Structure 1
């Protein structure tokens, strides 16, 4: 059964259920149960024991605690609590008021939004909600449509999170990659190093960010976006009046009216600096002999560094709330809200770790690789995986679920066909998941970007879709180059040239909107 066509059943069943039910945890859970039954001759007792042993191994192995997995979970919880405290302190609102007095142009207002999206990379939820709320007073003043604001927010949130190691996404992806590398005996690089090597291969994320900057500087408004921007500039109506009122945020946290810019800035600075400092410290401690920059980051303890950085960031956010004499009951409610915001991500992570183990035992990737080998040239594999991941994320509305489902399969296929294609194929999955996420109307990030920007959700989906497709076409061609040549530099040059040509064409076709 292992390595046969039946090994496809658990992942295909999980994907089909996600598409039909839109419930990732239920679908991954069914895939896990079916896979465990297949591994144990459909004996329910042995299958339950198999699942329990896999889950237990996530936390304890060989009599010792797996601090990596536990620290990653704690880090996610700290991020959620810190984000909630920043909102409660009024830091986001204070920053918006500060920027309003200093940014004088429409391009400048949009550029501030993009820069904030690039800087606030610690978590996509935090990014989407914070950047949208911070930028809204500024972009409203300059008559930037809410649909345009939602696009600027959404197209920087996930692309930045997926290439930043010091983020909830980075921690999640590094953990999965580390497991894949260990499974296939890849020892020339650790999870963090592999992640960093994959950053320049994540073409869609890089192109999406580049396209956003070009849209801002060259005013590349086309398709449905142009309709919204024309109405905003000419009439001052930032949303479509025919679409009705914009649904307000539900269960909003109470926000202090004594917020300052530092209430937003200092927790983020503390998180980033604290994490980087401990990455250097733990890397030096683990390096044998004279530590170099390379050896330091090769041997750094990512999980503990993220945990310590998260503790520092959370502590700073908590102190900033305490000095405002926030009541203990309000602090407790805020912290609990932050914890709840991260629980879905943690659940998905646990299920992803479990299904990785089961898919590996079933030999799913090995079977797929045996079908591809000799039928599809390896040069097409990154492009094909990009499209498959895009479809999966579009159908499910979740990048994280797509990562958990397809990364281990891509890893096993690469291990069988050509181990040197491991990182390009994994990077293609990451890129495709972001593309599908940008196109999906049921994506959490897409929904939160609409919410943070104060845009009608369907308006955001329709206006962002053409830009996502443009970036995807450039990415697809670039992945053909990567698969054919194996050269990351040539691939990046191809993507850059195609992006420049695309911008020039769009600039020629998009006449300036007159107010």
Structure 2
């Protein structure tokens, strides 16, 4: 069943169950079991062995510890501990009160969150978790639902890092482009130059970022988001009361210390940011074989080790502040325990997402979708549009943007070099855009999971509330890629794409205001 149409069954089953039951662990588990059964022709014993092997290899691979996964899981635990200290110290409450005096509207709080997402562009994991820690005290005070905060975080993480050459994503993509150009004999353009030229062609990423600001300014609460926002404004409940599975949220576990100050929050977070970035630079420079450049540093950086290092130093900083306050020392073990406990839901989801990703990889779902593209006779003018759709479907099914890059970028390069070299950069940009779009729509994306965690939002609530915005940006991008294919223009498709997003946003805003007046 590997590499055939049957290989998409586990992914489709998982997505259907998520939408029908809203239970992410059940849905992921069902997809894993069905996929493992298909791998071993429904042999029960071999299926059980396969599932155990996949789980085991998350921690131990090829006889050695899988340090990358272990470091990321450890960082999540450290982040939970740091969050507990920030709340117990009174730092979160003090920061919320301080910001309320400066950012006095819900719109301002939302725009500030979006701006933070643009500023912290070095890595999507780091963006998802850091922005949540900084913005959450303010958005909570302004009664902004956690689902909306998660949307802001997710839509300014991957869309920003995928168009930033100075980021872990940018360095990875530029590295792939260098190999593709060498293999296909492309010498008239350099990888970095190509990446820069592809930025205005990444229509989904630019549309998604624009839409974030439109949502913040015009209060574009579409579909399920409207329900979450209405409940938050009217009752103060920032979370769905029907969902008790919320990673990264401590609720009212601790009574904030009365002497808490703003620096009790800002200093540990600042230490986290600085330590992580410095560690990324050091690990990147050490791993660069030649003289380290800015690009080679970010291409070779060890993100998970850097996050772990930053997390350890930040927790130690929080611990120092805790001991300086008049808190009973016996409270310290509880802070560690509760902080770890609040991150367990995110870890459960992430583990199962990794497992189903492995199953889907074994079934060669991505390769099957890629064969459809490479084997079809398609007009070159349709290539950017079709590569966008196929990359989106692949990322949706596999839960990985980077995996989709690795599979689809070589195919896009090979097809366009043979058929129409003028469509090379638009098609490569369409692959990047489609991958981010699919990443936004799937509950098994690690970036989407970490965005929920950073916001302290229920994961499925975040996925479902983000879908309408993702489809709106994708629909506008589809129009843009069709225009690119038939006109070979860059600026015109970008302007039209952004204009469509803006126009639809304004129409939704006017319609919503009209409904409120009628009510």
SS of the residue corresponding to residue 252 of structure 2 reads: coil
Structure-2 separation of matches of 1:186 and 1:56: 34
Q: In the superposition, relative to structure 1, how do residues 450 and 187 fare at CA in structure 2: closer, same or farther (>3 Å)? A: same
Do structure 1's residue 434 and structure 2's residue 440 form an aligned pair?
yes
Counterparts in 2 of 1:289 and 1:5: CA distance versus 1, 3 Å: closer
Partner residue in 1 for 2:16: 16
Aligned to 2:63: 63
Find 2:389's aligned residue among 384, 408, 424.
384
Describe the shift of the 1:251–1:496 C-alpha distance in structure 2 as closer, same or farther (beyond 3 A).
closer
Q: Give the equivalent residue in structure 1 for 2:352.
A: 351
Q: Secondary structure at the match of 2:2?
A: coil
Give the SS at the match of 2:155: helix
Q: Is the Cα contact below 8 Å between 1:89 and 1:259 reproduced in 2?
A: yes
- In structure 2, the residue matched to 1:325 is 326
Name the TM-score, length of structure 1 as normaliser: 0.68
Shift of 1:290: 2.0
Q: 2:476 corresponds to which residue?
A: 474
| Aligned pair partner of 1:134 in 126, 135, 138 | 138
> Over aligned residue pairs, what C-alpha RMSD do you find?
5.3
Residues of 1 paired with 2:455 and 2:308: CA distance? 27
- 2-structure distance, mates of 1:502, 1:20: 28
Compared CA separation, residues 111 and 221, structure 1 to 2 (3 A): same
1:26 match: 26
**What's the offset of the Cα at 1:479?**
5.0
> 1:155-180 CA distances to partner (integer Å, 9 max, x unpaired)?
422213435779xxxx9x97xx99xx
3-state SS of paired residue (2:399): helix
Q: What aligned pairs does 1:75-474 form with structure 2 within 5 A after superposition?
A: 75-103=75-103, 108=108, 111-112=111-112, 114-115=114-115, 122=126, 124=128, 131-135=135-139, 137=141, 139=142, 146=143, 153-163=149-159, 203-204=203-204, 206-214=206-214, 239-240=233-234, 251-254=251-254, 255-372=256-373, 373-374=375-376, 378-385=383-390, 404=399, 412=407, 424-425=430-431, 427-434=433-440, 470-474=472-476
Counterparts in 2 of 1:290 and 1:315: CA distance versus 1, 3 Å: same
Offset at residue 274 of structure 1 (A): 0.9
List runs of 5+ in structure 1 lacking aligned partners.
140-145, 393-401, 438-442
Q: CA deviation at 1:497?
A: 4.8
The 1:128–1:271 alpha-carbon spacing in structure 2 relative to 1, beyond 3 Å, is closer
Counterpart CA distance in 2 for 1:352 and 1:107 is 34
Q: Provide the C-alpha distance between the structure 1 equivalents of 2:181 and 2:309, rounded to a whole number of angstroms.
A: 27
**Structure 1 residue 326: Cα displacement:** 3.0
Deviation (angstroms), 1:105: 7.2
C-alpha distance 55-487 of structure 1, shift in aligned 2 (>3 A): farther
Match of 2:419 in 1: none
Report Cα offsets for 1:52-106 as digits up to 9, x if no partner: 3333333333333222221122122222222232222222211122223345678
DSSP 3-state at the match of 1:131? helix
Which TM-score applies when normalising by structure 2? Answer: 0.68
Sort the Cα spacing of 1:290 and 1:322 in 2 relative to 1 into closer, same or farther, 3 A: same
**Partners of 2:139 and 2:149 within 8 A in 1:** no
Structure 2 CA distance for partners of 1:450 and 1:42, relative to 1, 3 Å: closer
- CA shift for structure 1 position 281: 1.0
The aligned counterpart of 1:49 is: 49
Q: What is the rounded CA distance, in whole Å, between the counterparts of 1:38 and 1:109 in structure 2?
A: 48
User: Per the alignment, do residues 331 and 127 of structure 1 end up closer, same or farther by CA in structure 2, a change over 3 Å counting?
Assistant: farther
Measure the CA separation in 1 of the matches of 2:6 and 2:215: 47
Aligned length: 460
Shift of 1:30: 3.1
Corresponding position of 1:39? 39
Residues 124 and 445 of structure 1 are in contact (CA less than 8 Å); yes or no, is this contact kept in structure 2? yes
2:202 touches 2:429 (CA, 8 Å); kept in 1? Answer: no
Contact 2:106 2:139 in 1 (8 A): no
